[in-house]
Amino acid sequence: MQAAMPPALPYLSLREHLKAEWGAALHRLCLDAGFTCPNRDGSKAFGGCTFCDVAGSGASHIEGALGVRRQVLHQIAQCEQRHGPTRYIAYLQAFTNTYAPLDRLRAVYEAAVCHPDVAVLSVGTRSDCVDAPVCELLAGFGDRVQVWLELGLQSVNQATLDRVNRAETPDDFRQACRLARTYGLRVVAHVIVGLPGDTPADYLRAVDLLNAEGVWGVKIHNLYIDRRAPMAADWEAGSITLPTRDEYVASVCDMLERLRPDMVIHRLSGQAPRAYHLAPAWALEKSALLKAITAEMRRRESVQGCRYRSGGASLSAVEQRI
């Protein structure tokens, strides 16, 4: 029997998953609903996460002043001019998009799915801002669109979370995942590689948590320094050291090997807008970075999930060295 051709990538990318599920890639509409966060307004803390910029990690092209419905229609019109008719992911990206009264949330979500070509509603939020009424509200949109709940885990190391003023815990993430699963929501977790205080073992512990909680997708980000973020001052003072590209690639590959093979990989890189990006310089070369990750997986002769074991992850190469 002829051997199967190797996959284009050694991991399950979002693009390939969307092609398989929808027949084509979907375009993302990045939206700002004008929310804030509980660690900005004093509910839990002030100043926000130290790695987060003044725009709440929203995309640079978001025009928040338009309102959500007009943002959706404006971005769809622009996209159709370039690509023709297609389908979309309405991504409520900036700040905490479940941190408001239910009536306001309902109005925002309705505006986000106002166009018939919106296929997915993706809601970025904090785990401590997810409760049963919010999940029930989101699940109610499931008869019209697919619903993703994007949760910022960032780190499993509580000391690291405290250092970056996260003002929440890994247990908050666990509880939010279990609640979301009860309501049939797809959870997309965010994990940052390179936060001050974290180690390669912490990244693998994060992977184990994602596996254990049945997370559907993951965004792995390298830590980057945005000049508008509080962390910029620490980096400029020399109190923060960022991973080299080789170190980041090695950590990502260790994580991919240990992740469940069916978990969808939404991102493997991150960067600030070029006008605000201070470091690392290598993060600005996204294509080269993704090629380096693939090349390292090929060199190892490994694929996503090759070190995953159902019921408990096996030791990875990095743990065997620790």
Please count the residues of the chain. Answer: 322
pLDDT digits (tens, 9 = 90+) for 4-17: 434 689 999 999 99
According to the model, what pLDDT value does residue 317 have? 44
**Strand, coil or helix: what is 132?**
helix
- What residues does 264 pair with on adjacent strands? 217
43, part of any domain? yes
72, part of any domain? yes
Which amino acid, one-letter code, is at 36?
T
Domain count, the chain: 1
Q: Where are the beta strands (DSSP E) in 101-254?
A: 118-125, 146-154, 186-193, 217-222, 225-226
Q: Residue 259's closest CA among 199, 300, 213?
A: 213
pLDDT digits (tens, 9 = 90+) for 175-190: 999 999 999 999 999 9
According to the model, what pLDDT value does residue 232 have? 97
Question: How many Å apart are CA 107 and CA 113, to the nearest integer?
Answer: 10
- What is the pTM assigned to this prediction? 0.92
Identify whether 170 is preceded by a cis peptide bond (ω within 30 of 0): no
According to the model, what pLDDT value does residue 5 have? 39
47, part of any domain? yes
Please list the ranges in the chain whose pLDDT falls under 50: 1-6, 58, 313-322
Q: Count the neighbouring beta carbons within 10 Å of the beta carbon of residue 155.
A: 24
Q: Residue 32's closest CA among 69, 1, 6, 76?
A: 69
8, part of any domain? no
Q: Are strands 88-92 and 118-125 parallel, antiparallel or unpaired?
A: parallel
7, part of any domain? no
Question: How many Å apart are CA 42 and CA 50, to the nearest integer?
Answer: 15
Domain range enclosing 258: 14-321
pLDDT digits (tens, 9 = 90+) for 226-282: 999 999 999 999 999 999 999 999 999 999 999 999 999 999 999 999 999 999 999
Burial of 83 (0-12, 13-18, 19+ CB in 10 A): exposed
CA torsion sign for 76, 77, 83, 86 is positive
Q: Phi and psi dihedrals of 162, rounded to 5? A: -65, -40
CATH value at residue 189: 3.30.750.200
Question: How many Å apart are CA 314 and CA 320, to the nearest integer?
Answer: 10
3, part of any domain? no
